[in-house]
Structure 1
Amino acid sequence: MTSPTPLESGLRGLCPRCGAKTLFAGAASFAPSCRACGLSFASFNVGDGPAAFLTLGVGAAVTAMAILFELAVHPPFWLHLILWIPITAGAVLGSLRVAKGMLLALEYRNAAREGRIVEEAARDEQP
């Protein structure tokens, strides 16, 4: 049995260890653990990273599209408001689940844990 790629984990909600479809309990909330292999998802900390990266990436893309739209069509301001605000919110919220799943899978794959850099630095300083 091979582990799924981080992209597969994010897109399909697969456990990064066993590949069972048990990663999410809600729309963008992780399950406490995998029901198939027992991997605890609570030990991973994806934090606000996915939301921040998505906001920046989607914001840049939407800004570029809004500028191009303004230069090409010259619509009234209210049209920009009713067009770009829902598109931005939908794109960020729609891709949040995928981004969170990918980041958790990458943390699992790279054995990332909090405080490891400090522990390694302290161990390296000992004679």
Structure 2
Amino acid sequence: MFQGYLTVRERCEVCGVDLRGHDAGDGPAVFLIFILGFLVVPMALWVEMRYMPPLWLHALLWGPVIVGVTLVLLRPLKGLMVALQYRHRSTSQQD
């Protein structure tokens, strides 16, 4: 489905379905912001209240966590958005 990391192919290599009209836009990034905010903020607050580390340690700890989870989840969420667009026929398709 993907050509590169996040670029959607024009056609599916397996079934030949036209994917040019599908555009996930910023949807996956917005969902990821909500997911990470819901998970990371309480964890960071818990670490702060429990251990009281300096701010630089928070940045060192949570920066890589946020970047790592983003890189792992962004592609599957974009694939999900394209699949939902295809399933619900939200784009004009040429048969």
Match of 1:117 in 2: none
Q: Hey, which bits of structure 1, 4+ residues long, moved more than 2 A?
A: none
Match of 1:90 in 2: 68
- State how 1:1-127 maps to structure 2 within 5 Å: 23-113=1-91
- TM-score w.r.t. the length of structure 1 is 0.67
Structure number with greater Rg is 1
Following superposition, the deviation at residue 28 of structure 1 comes to 2.1
Kindly provide the amino acid, as one letter, of the partner of residue 42 in structure 1.
R
Kindly provide the amino acid, as one letter, of the partner of residue 78 in structure 1.
W
Q: Which 5+ residue runs of structure 2 have no aligned equivalent? A: none
Give yes or no for contact 1:59–1:88 (8 Å, CA) kept in 2: no
Following superposition, the deviation at residue 52 of structure 1 comes to 1.2
What is the Cα-based RMSD across aligned positions, in Å?
Answer: 1.4
Aligned residue for 1:55, secondary structure, equals helix
Following superposition, the deviation at residue 60 of structure 1 comes to 2.6
- TM-score w.r.t. the length of structure 2 is 0.87
CA-to-partner distance for each residue in 1:94-117, whole Å, 9 max, x for gaps? 100000001111111111127xxx
CA-to-partner distance for each residue in 1:43-93, whole Å, 9 max, x for gaps? 111101001110122123111110001111111111001011111111112
Kindly provide the amino acid, as one letter, of the partner of residue 43 in structure 1.
G
Distance across 2 between alignment mates of 1:68 and 1:50: 27
Q: Which 5+ residue runs of structure 1 have no aligned equivalent? A: 1-22, 115-127
Identity %: 38
Distance across 2 between alignment mates of 1:27 and 1:51: 14
